[in-house]
């Protein structure tokens, strides 16, 4: 029997992840034909491109399209999903594009902007803006659609990588799946983080009490493996600025992991970060914190660094973005206040 397992991660609707095991009676069959027959609406060209760039493996080894599948061969597939809504509307919305070439572009997203259309958010998103931008470039046809390689939350600011061609999307998607893309965030968290650096390891899945949230589970059979590395950047006594590097990419990973070690993100209302902790020895503390919340009424999280291998040049390129004004302003107020 052929087994097909769909893997779940934060990009479950961006990528399709398959694992096929050939039956013991499998007759010799070309790899590209074998996979095309087993994925709904897959084209031979799309599958061949995935094989070419190493997104389709046989027994964890790169093979050519003409490789003949044998009994018990294990074929793993990582490919971007085709867009679910081809009728997206292009909208003339300003976006901060910090880098662009024929294959991809990098956006420095503002907090508050939804990345992809969804329930109650069919317009005004980053994808709507990028459709307009790309369709108005003379060297591209009106049929081209930008491809999300990953996401960041609506109220998280920072760098987002977008593919402009299907080839680039497949190539970059494989890097995210392999965790070879470097992602570093700045986060302001409640409390004085004890260690200068550390690693948080814990399965992340949907909170059993509130499906909008992610939670960390001790049971290895619940959720998906997740690893976050952190180090302290600056201390303010009652809160700490940390740098978080993602080894995996799960929904709300930093927010859930930091809450798990009792250092909820500052001003993160969803995870309890707008509850003002009590520090009686500091003057007008509650008023000061509320002023900070007013300046930055969203979680203090910024996707600051993104590094990846370019799909055409094969060079590892690295980008950084400055903290946005609301984040910088709060940090300056904290420095003056604790001084």
Integer Cα distance of 302 and 276 in angstroms: 21
Q: Token pair of 169, please?
A: 């999307």
Q: Which residues pair with 49 in a beta bridge?
A: none
Question: 172-189 burial string, b = 16+ CB within 10 Å, else e?
Answer: bbbbbbeeebebbbbbbb
Helix count and strand count (H, E) for the chain: 7, 19
Integer Cα distance of 308 and 317 in angstroms: 6
* Chain centroid offset of residue 284 CA: 38
Q: Token pair of 89, please?
A: 């509307």
Q: From the CB of residue 79, how many other CB atoms can be counted at a distance below 10 Å? A: 24
Q: From the CB of residue 12, how many other CB atoms can be counted at a distance below 10 Å? A: 14
Q: Between the CA of residue 144 and those of 40, 91, 127, what are the distances in Å? A: 22, 15, 12
Q: Is 178 a catalytic residue?
A: no
From the candidates 4, 13, 32, 153, give the one annotated as an active-site residue.
153
Integer Cα distance of 190 and 333 in angstroms: 15
The string of DSSP codes covering 71-138 is: TT-EEEEEEEPPPS-TTPPP------EEEE-SSEEEEEEPTT--SS-BTTBSSSSHHHHHHHHHHTST
Q: Which residues are catalytic?
A: 153
């Amino acid at each position: 029997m052929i087994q097909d397992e769909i893997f779940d991660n934060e990009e479950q609707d961006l990528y399709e992840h398959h694992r096929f095991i050939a039956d013991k009676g499998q007759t010799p069959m070309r790899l590209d034909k074998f996979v095309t027959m087993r994925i709904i609406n897959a084209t031979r060209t799309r599958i061949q491109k995935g094989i070419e760039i190493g997104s389709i493996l046989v027994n964890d080894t790169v093979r050519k399209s003409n490789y003949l599948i044998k009994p018990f061969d294990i074929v793993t597939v990582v490919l971007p999903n085709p867009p679910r809504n081809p009728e997206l509307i292009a909208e003339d919305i300003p976006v901060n594009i910090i880098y662009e070439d024929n294959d991809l572009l990098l956006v420095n997203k503002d907090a508050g902007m939804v990345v992809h259309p969804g329930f109650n958010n069919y317009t005004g998103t980053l994808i709507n803006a990028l459709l307009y931008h790309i369709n108005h470039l003379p060297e591209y046809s009106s049929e081209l659609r930008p491809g999300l390689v990953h996401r960041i939350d609506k109220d998280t600011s920072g760098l987002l990588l977008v593919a402009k061609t299907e080839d680039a999307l497949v190539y970059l998607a494989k890097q995210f799946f392999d965790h070879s893309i470097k992602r570093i965030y700045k986060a302001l968290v409640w409390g004085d983080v004890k260690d200068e650096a550390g690693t948080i390891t814990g399965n992340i899945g949907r909170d059993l009490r509130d499906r909008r949230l992610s939670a960390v589970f001790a049971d290895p059979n619940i959720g998906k493996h997740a690893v976050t590395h952190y180090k302290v950047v600056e201390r303010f006594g009652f809160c700490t600025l940390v740098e978080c590097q993602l080894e995996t990419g799960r929904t709300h990973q930093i927010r859930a992991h930091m809450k798990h070690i009792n250092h909820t993100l500052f001003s993160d209302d969803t995870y309890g970060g707008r509850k003002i902790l009590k520090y009686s020895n500091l003057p007008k503390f509650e008023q000061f914190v509320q002023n900070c919340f007013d300046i930055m009424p969203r979680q203090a999280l910024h996707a600051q660094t993104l590094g990846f291998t370019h799909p055409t040049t094969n060079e590892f390129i690295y980008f950084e973005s400055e903290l946005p004004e609301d984040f910088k302003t709060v940090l300056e107020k904290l420095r003056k206040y604790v001084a």
